[in-house]
Structure 1
C-alpha cells in the first residue's frame, strides 16, 4: 500500500516529503506559537481572565499560520495578507460586537501569524525575531499601563431609566459614581426592559488594581 502511495505521489508530481521545507515549517510554527502564547497567556489572560477569547486567539493563530504558510508558494503575497484583514474586518461588523481591546488583540495575533508564516528568505531570522520581540514589548508596555490609565469595565442592571436618555448623560455618570464608588468616566446603554424599568449599562472606570473583566458577558 505504501508502494502504491509513493507511485501515486510521483504521478501527481507531489513529493512525499521535502525535509528542508518541513523542518522550516515546524520551527516557524514553534516560534510563532511561543510568541502568541506569551502575548495571550501572560499579557492578556492574567488581566481579563477571559478563557473564551484565550481559546479563540490560540485557534486563530494556528489556522492563520498554516493557511498562510501552505499557500505561500501560490505567490499571493501582500494582497493575500491584506485580504485576511479585510475578511476579519467584515466579520467584526457581521457578528456580535467584540470589545475594542479583544479585537485589537485579535489583529495582533493575526498579524504575528501572517508575518511569521509569510516572511521569505529576504527577511533574516534576526529581523523576524526582532519584529516579534518589539510587538511583545510594545504590547507589554501598553498593557502594564505605563502610557495609559488602567481601564476596567462592568455590566450592571440599572433601574433609573429616566437618566439613560442622551440629555442626562452627566447625571447618569454622577449617579453611577455615587452608587458604585468607582471612578466612572463613560457608560454605554445596552438592552432596555420597559416592562421592568431596567436597562443593562456597561460602565468604564479607572482603577489602580488589575481587576478581571469577567463581568463583561
Structure 2
C-alpha cells in the first residue's frame, strides 16, 4: 500500500455527500429541536463533534476492512454502535432527554457512514423521517419541568388540602403549578420537601438543572 498516494478513491465523493447530509441533519436536530428548549451549549458542542468523530471512525474502519476483503465490517460497525450507545459522561449525570438525543446522533452517524449500498434518495428519506419523528414528538409532547421546594406550611400537605396547597405555591412561586408530590416531612422544623411540576416555556426549561436544592440541603430530609 502506497501511503504517499495522493489520489482519491471512487467512493470519496459519495462519502463527502453523505457527510454533508449528516452534518445538516444533525445541526437541524440539535439546533432547531434540542437547543430550542434546553439551551445547553455543552451538549450542543458534544453532539456536533460526536457526530463528526463517529462518522469518520466508522467509515474508515469499514473502508479498511473491505479493502482487506474482510466480511466482518458490518458486525464491527454494529458493535461500535453498541459501545457508543452505552457511553456515559462519568463526570456528571446525563438527563434522560440528553441521553436520547445522544443515541439518535450516534445512530444517524453510523447509518450515514455504513450506507454504501443505499441510494442518496433512500438516505435522504431516512434522515428526513428521523428528523420528522423527533419534531413531532417535541411539538406534541407538552414539557413539564419541576423543582424541589422546602415548604413551610405542612398544614396544607394533606390530600384534602391539595388544591389549596397548589394555589399557595402558584401565588408564591409565580408559576403555573400542575402537580405536587410530597416527599419527606420534618415536623420538628415544620418543613416538607415538595416536588413541584409546572408548565415550562423555552426560556425556563433549564430551571430543573439550576434551581434544585443542593445535596447538603437534601440530606436534611433523608
Q: Shift of the alpha carbon at 1:53?
A: 1.2
**Pairing partner for 1:128 from 106, 112, 123:** 123
- Aligned match of 2:69: none
In structure 2, relative to structure 1, the CA distance for the partners of 1:101 and 1:184 (3 Å cut) is same
Check conservation: 1:36, 1:61, Cα contact below 8 A: yes
Q: Shift of the alpha carbon at 1:125?
A: 1.6
Counterpart mapping for 1:170-189 below 5 A = 175=165, 178-179=168-169, 180=173, 181-185=175-179
Q: Shift of the alpha carbon at 1:95?
A: 4.9
Check conservation: 1:49, 1:212, Cα contact below 8 A: no
- Aligned match of 2:30: 40
- Aligned match of 2:214: none
- Aligned match of 2:111: 115
Q: Shift of the alpha carbon at 1:76?
A: 2.6
**What is the CA–CA distance in structure 2 between the aligned matches of 1:105 and 1:169, rounded to whole Å?**
39
Deviates further, 99-108 or 83-92: 83-92
Q: Do residues 56 (structure 1) and 52 (structure 2) align?
A: no
**What is the CA–CA distance in structure 1 between the aligned matches of 2:120 and 2:84, rounded to whole Å?**
29
Deviations 1:180-216 (A, max 9, x none): 3433446698xxxxxx999997654345x44442331
- Aligned match of 2:150: 158
Q: Give the structure-1-normalised TM-score.
A: 0.70
Q: Give the structure-2-normalised TM-score.
A: 0.69
Check conservation: 1:154, 1:213, Cα contact below 8 A: no
- Aligned match of 2:95: 99
Check conservation: 1:61, 1:109, Cα contact below 8 A: yes
Check conservation: 1:155, 1:200, Cα contact below 8 A: no
Any unmatched runs of 5+ in structure 1? 1-8, 190-195
How many residue pairs match? The answer is: 191
Check conservation: 1:32, 1:112, Cα contact below 8 A: yes
Q: Do residues 83 (structure 1) and 65 (structure 2) align?
A: no
2:198 counterpart SS class? strand
- Aligned match of 2:133: 138
**What is the CA–CA distance in structure 1 between the aligned matches of 2:192 and 2:84, rounded to whole Å?**
33
Any unmatched runs of 5+ in structure 2? 66-71, 184-188, 211-222
**What is the CA–CA distance in structure 2 between the aligned matches of 1:86 and 1:169, rounded to whole Å?**
48
Check conservation: 1:151, 1:204, Cα contact below 8 A: no
